[in-house]
Structure 1
Amino acid sequence: MRGLGELESKVMDVLWDAAEPLRVRQVLDRLADPRPLAYTTIMTILDNLHGKGLVRRERAGRAYEYLPAETRAEVGARLLRDVLDSSGHAESVLLHFARSASPAETDILRRALRKRRDPS
């Protein structure tokens, strides 16, 4: 994910894949990382992600439980919007993307455009 470090991205993946809010220990236990990671490292990562507005946290006794502030799809769409807005060449970016899209992705885009034209 753009703007996030490797470990931050892995932590976000764990949260997105979870069916419920997770405590620091649960995130640590679910991380697929070949390096041994400290509890305090994951606690700091989650605190940083909270500060960036990417995760929400709720008190659960003396600890916090963390959950994503947005879905993976919402974050991806926001990042794409940021790229389009900052490029100054949204048409070129979209055309390059369209040319690189797989047949399945092209079908998704066509269906979305048809829905937009005919919302009924």
Structure 2
Amino acid sequence: MRRLGDLEAEIMNRLWDWGQPATVREIVDDINTSRPLAYTTVTTVADTLYRKGWLMRWKSGRAWTYEPVRSREDYTVGLMQDALGSSADRKTALLRFVEHMSAEDAEALDAALRAVGRHEADGH
């Protein structure tokens, strides 16, 4: 999975945070509260995200409304899988990753592994 570009990530993060569809105008207006950005630039990047399969869109009057197809967590999983897949020694890469985890993240990983173990034990 290719990492999102800076503006792609900025658009996706807004849509993920909002949890609802938005028009390009709404996205541009929000970005413009912190820095100037042209409407056409956001339109182009949103169209690119649509063509890449990250967003769905539909017409709302004359404007396009966009909504994420994939969750932020799905994006993170893809990045993590790619990073792990780039290692010739996955076991060592995982070990080093876990060694650098915070206690909170290690607890979350342990809980996730237990949940998967229970799920597999149930025959699913």
Could you say whether these structures have the same fold, taking a TM-score greater than 0.5 normalized by the shorter chain as the test?
yes
SS of the residue 2:19 aligns to? coil
Residue matched to 2:28: 28
SS of the residue 1:36 aligns to? coil
Indicate the RMSD between aligned Cα atoms, in angstroms.
1.8
Structure 1 residue ranges (4+ consecutive) displaced by more than 6 angstroms after TM superposition:
none
Q: State the 1:33 CA deviation.
A: 6.5
TM-score, normalised via structure 2 length: 0.85
Corresponding letter in the other structure for 2:109 = L
- Residue segments in structure 2 that go unaligned for 5+ positions in a row: none
SS of the residue 1:118 aligns to? helix
The farther-off stretch of 45-54 and 56-65 is: 56-65
Q: How many Å separate the matches in 2 of 1:79 and 1:112? A: 18
The farther-off stretch of 27-36 and 15-24 is: 27-36
Task: Label 1:19 to 1:118 Cα distance change in 2 as closer, same or farther (>3 A).
Answer: closer
- Residue segments in structure 1 that go unaligned for 5+ positions in a row: none
Residue matched to 1:13: 13
Residue matched to 1:105: 105
Q: How many Å separate the matches in 2 of 1:33 and 1:86? A: 38
Identity among equivalent positions (%) equals: 38
